[in-house]
Amino acid sequence: MDPIAHTLFGATLAEAGLKRKTALATTTLVIGANLPDIDGLAMLVSSDYALQFRRGWTHGILALMIWPFLLAGAMMGIDRLLQRRKSDQKGPPLHPEWLLAISFIGVWSHPLLDWLNTYGVRLLMPFNDTWFYGDTLFIVDPWFWLLTGAGVVLARSKSKLGVAGWIVLGSALTALVTTAEIPLAAKFVWGVGIFFIAAARWSGRFQNSLQPLALTLLTAAVLYTVFMYTGSRMNVHHARAFLADQGIEVIDIMSNPLPAQPLARTGIAASETHYYLFRGSWVKPESYELLEEPIPIEPPDEIVEAALQSPDVQGLMNWIRFPHYEVQELSDGWRVIIRDLRYVHPEATESPGIGMDAIELDRELDVRSRK
């Protein structure tokens, strides 16, 4: 999931009651909920290296056992520094056992949310680099933002600066949602949700019941996620049946959640010989249809194999889930386009930001450049 979703989920856990267990609980949950994404620094090397490294070591089982101890230790050190600077104690004292437990909760929430989307996460690293996919939520989900953000907005930052920060964040997210390619009805629902959050904050109506409200919203976010998971599993079931009726035996299939559209799905199915792109509403099995003509699955030939040896695409090839290759002959060589059909249309000529690369080879099949 995106950093906003991770942060709001951690903060909601705090408002739902965990912040009352120990000092620095909220800070620990928010940091822990984002800590595995320290591997985002790999982007400073290259986008392909990031695909090779991200959602691996820092998200795997070994790191998930180490991060909470490091985080709890750092928070205890910070608490000692704070106690030296102020004598008055506000809120609960620091309880090391609770701080460690909360560190585990915050850190482990991160790979759980990452697992929910189609990008994948390598939960067994460094012992095994298998990718796991929940195929449940779109990587940016506005309804998850609303449900996890409402209680936090109502409870936090009563200063003018804090309120201004929430206004800026709410405005930025609203601009993103209203300009996105999603149904008009979804934009309207988002606007209504933002209005009610702002009105509730202004009225102060829930100030005496913030913890129960946050717990209710957290429960709603969990139930929404379960609902979306059910939808994705039903999408796979309906798509298999739809393709089986056409005599197509599927060996692999992915359900693709769509932004702000909980009842709609697209997806990719693979047989021994072809890919099939489909869409439908998981509550209407009769709505399923193919989006494209079947796409042949062709094993890499000599030219493609040479391109795949390029050091510039090792990250992409480590991460790719539904590979599709296209060879274009040039006057002095070849251009090999590599696409992951999760994110790139089979005829796309420009990358949408992820899931596509191109390598140029000379006539001797030596890598000439990356395009």
pLDDT tens digits, one per residue of 109-129:
999 999 999 999 999 999 999
Separation between Cα atoms, residue 283 and residue 131, nearest integer Å:
29
**What pLDDT does 284 receive?**
97
Mean of the pLDDT values across residues 6-29? 95
Q: Read off the pLDDT band of 85 (50, 70, 90).
A: low
pLDDT of residue 258: 96
State yes or no: pLDDT of 369 exceeds 80: no
pLDDT of residue 243: 97
* pLDDT band, very low/low/confident/very high, at 92 (cuts 50, 70, 90): confident
What single-letter amino acid sits at 25?
A: A
CB atoms under 10 Å from CB of 75, counted, come to: 24
Give me the count of residues in the chain.
371
Give the pLDDT of residue 5.
96
Q: Is 283 helix (H, G, I), strand (E, B) or coil?
A: coil
pLDDT at 7: 96
**Is residue 139 pLDDT above 60, yes or no?**
yes
pLDDT band at residue 321 using 50, 70 and 90 as cut-offs:
very high
> pLDDT-based confidence at 371, cuts 50/70/90?
low
Tokens describing residue 333: 């060589």
Ranges 49-53, 63-67, 69-73: which has the least confidence: 49-53
Mean pLDDT of 47-56: 93
Distance of alpha carbon 255 from alpha carbon 269, whole angstroms = 9
- Inform me whether the pLDDT recorded for 87 exceeds 70: no
- Judged by average pLDDT, the poorest of 34-43, 151-160, 203-212 is 151-160
pLDDT greater than 90 at residue 264: yes
* Look-up of token digits 């320290």: 38
Q: What CA–CA distance (Å, rounded) separates 49 from 308?
A: 15
- pLDDT value for 157: 63
Query: What is the model's pLDDT at position 145?
Result: 96
| Mean pLDDT across the chain | 93
- pLDDT for 86 equals 61
d(CA 3, CA 34): 7
pLDDT category, 238, cuts 50, 70, 90? very high
Q: Does residue 19 register a pLDDT over 80?
A: yes
Mean pLDDT, residues 139-168: 85
| pLDDT beyond 80 at 159 | no
State residue 310's pLDDT score.
95
- Closest residue by Cα to residue 339 from 330, 327, 328, 326: 326
Task: Give yes or no for a contact between 97 and 28, defined as CB atoms under 8 angstroms apart.
Answer: no
